[in-house]
Amino acid sequence: MLAPATGVFGLIGFSGKSGREVEQLAMLEPLATHYGDDWWFRTVLAFAEIELHRLDSGFNNIEAALRGFPRNAHAAHIKAHLFYEKGQREEGLAYLGQWNADYPREGQLHCHINWHLALWSLETGRRDQAWKIYREALHPGGSWGPQINVLTDCASFLARAEMAGEPRDPGLWREISQYAAKWFPNSGIIFADMHSALAFAMAGDAEALARIIENPKGPAADIVAPIARGFDGLAKGDWTRVVDELRPVLATHERVGGSRAQRDLLEYSVTCALLRSGRADDARRLIASRRPQNPASGVPLAGI
């Protein structure tokens, strides 16, 4: 019962509810004495804590999980989130790169672990390395992984690369847009549909994007359309539209599902739009208040 309820893509995570992160931790904490040092439980508990910025207890639990099963890919992945939330890019890149060296390509988390490595490579100035990882371990045909990871990791990496100053590659956007149309055209899973909308917008597939905007589905359907319209603005350089559509969503974007690291796509989209519309001070205030781990290591956005 606990695994399907508390998994990353589980019943709570994809419930579409505000407060679902607190709900998840509240479900897990009373069970800690019963599970003891069980590596699976400590991994799940650590992730719930880290997402709520209880970083010290999250660290203790993820270290316990790794002691119990050092080659636990999910635990290594959660430790990567700890580095991410602390803004420790170099440390995260070193740790996860070493751990990933012996992880088989057919491993379920191979794609997503490489997403973390690609982002950190991008954000630490290793841009050629980031694109090499994208080509070899992320993009459709180069990756083995659950379809939801391939879609979300590719679309978010491409968008965040652009926001960091990389030029847009229409061919790569067409590739992931076609993948989205095949697997998640309008699934009712907002975490997937958000990234499909981004891919459709960037690839200029107005018809596919319209299907999501005009017929949103799922428990968070009310925020699907504004997110999709905001990404359409991002694709077209309509910065006012990006801010108007996406900024109101930031207060409750946990409803989207996924991690805070993944939902930085929304935070950075609004910040980028403010920057590119000449509102740099507003952009800096926004990201400093919402993602305070960034100032020490810099915000990975061109012009910040």
Question: pLDDT tens digits, residue range 25-54?
Answer: 999 999 999 999 999 999 999 999 999 999
In three-state secondary structure terms, 188 is coil
Q: Does 276 map to a domain?
A: yes
Tallying the residues shown for the chain, one arrives at 304
- For residue 293, pLDDT over 90 is answered with no
Q: Does 175 map to a domain?
A: yes
Render pLDDT for 137-170 as a digit per residue (tens, 0 to 9): 999 988 878 999 999 999 999 999 999 999 999 9
> If you search the block for the tokens 């982002």, which residue do you land on?
119
Q: Does 125 map to a domain?
A: no
Tokens of 276: 């590119």
Range of 272's domain? 146-304
Q: Does 111 map to a domain?
A: no
Instruction: Give dist(CA 157, CA 159) in Å, integer.
Output: 5
Q: Does 221 map to a domain?
A: yes
Q: Does 235 map to a domain?
A: yes
- The sign of the torsion formed by the CA atoms of 165, 209, 174, 190 equals positive
* pLDDT reported for residue 244: 98
Tokens of 205: 């597939």
Q: Does 84 map to a domain?
A: no
* pLDDT reported for residue 7: 86
Tally of helices (H runs) and strands (E runs) in the chain: 17, 0
* pLDDT reported for residue 18: 94
Render pLDDT for 110-133 as a digit per residue (tens, 0 to 9): 999 999 999 999 999 999 999 999
- For residue 296, pLDDT over 60 is answered with no
Question: Which helix (DSSP H) or strand (DSSP E) does residue 214 occupy?
Answer: helix 206-214
Number of domains observed in the structure of the chain: 1
Whether residue 268 contacts residue 235, with contact meaning beta carbons closer than 8 Å, is answered with no
Q: Characterize 252-282 residue by residue with b for buried, 16 or more Cβ atoms within 10 angstroms of its Cβ, and e for exposed.
A: ebbbbbbbbbbbbbbbbbbbbbbbbbebeee
Q: Does 282 map to a domain?
A: yes
Cross-strand bridge partners of residue 140: 143
In three-state secondary structure terms, 31 is helix
In three-state secondary structure terms, 140 is strand
Please tell me the pTM assigned to this model: 0.96
